[in-house]
Amino acid sequence: MTSRCCVCSRPAADVCEPCVHQLQAWLAELPTHLPMLRSLLRPAAGPPRRGSTGRAHAPLPVDLRVLDLLGPGQPLPPDDPYGDQDGHVPAGALRYGWARYIASEFPAVRRDRYGTVHIERCEEPLVRGGATVAAWCAWLSAYAPYALTQPWGSELYRQLEDLLRRVRRMVGAVPQRTTKDAPCPSCAAFALVATDGEWWIRCEACGHEMAPEDYDEHRARVMPQLAAVAVHLLARASAAA
């Protein structure tokens, strides 16, 4: 039986390399949105307008949607008996919760003074350079190749995908799209698109997906042939004129 990637189900030993790259790309993108998120924390407040009927209550000092995302919390969806939570884990709790979990699962090898090797579980994740968002994301990124091979790896992937989607929606970030110049190897349409923060290059005509290195190889193979055809057609057109 062919073994498949636990995230995308493509043939792979446990997780495919593109899925690891994708998770690492999201983890690299997350800290870049932090300045904008922090600036959104305080709702826009302007001077009272003439003729305004005014508010019955003072405006809230913070934007609760952003607070839900940036504030403290537990690494599990909160109990919501009154239905007033957004059902999501705050970003910091999610990152730290996963880092603690990965550290507790990751086998640490130690040799004692008698030379005996011990395989133990780590107590706590240690981040270099202070527990900043960027440092936690770098920590998770370094452990992504291990984490995604675990039975809970696909859950980590989905949760971080969901987190980045929420963050992008909140800051209004629209990933930049770049149309590639080589045609799709599956349908021959000039519809291959690379999107910032996404690992795969996708064909918008047929849905075919390519890893960047496969696209580079494909481009190097087909573009000289296409250029030769174009030169030939131009020569024929100018001869006929």
Classify each residue of 211-240 as buried b or exposed e, where b means 16 or more C-beta atoms within 10 Å of its C-beta.
Answer: eeeebeebbeeeeeeeeeeeeeeeeeeeee
If the CB atoms of residues 206 and 234 are measured against Zn ion, the closer one turns out to be: 206
Closest contact distance (angstroms) between CB of 20 and Zn ion is 8
Dist. CA 192–CA 177, nearest whole Å: 10
Nearer to Zn ion, 97 or 185 (CB): 185
- Candidates 60, 126, 187, 230; binder of Zn ion (CB under 5 A) is 187
184 binds Zn ion (CB under 5 A): yes
Going from the C-alpha of 209 to that of each of 26, 174, 202, the distances in angstroms are 18, 21, 4
Q: How many residues lie near Zn ion (CB under 5 A)?
A: 12
Select from 186, 193, 195, 214 the one that contacts Zn ion (CB under 5 A): 186
Residue from the set 203, 215, 218, 219 that interacts with Zn ion by CB under 5 A: 203
Compute how many other C-beta atoms are within 10 angstroms of the C-beta atom of residue 16.
20
Binding mask 16-35 for Zn ion (x = CB under 5 A): x--x----------------
- The least distance separating Zn ion from the CB of residue 195, rounded to whole angstroms, comes to 15
Q: Sign (positive/negative) of CA torsion 89, 94, 100, 106? A: positive
The distance between the two most distant Cα atoms of the chain, rounded to a whole number of Å, is 89
Q: Segment near Zn ion (CB under 5 A), from 14-22, 66-74, 76-84, 126-134? A: 14-22
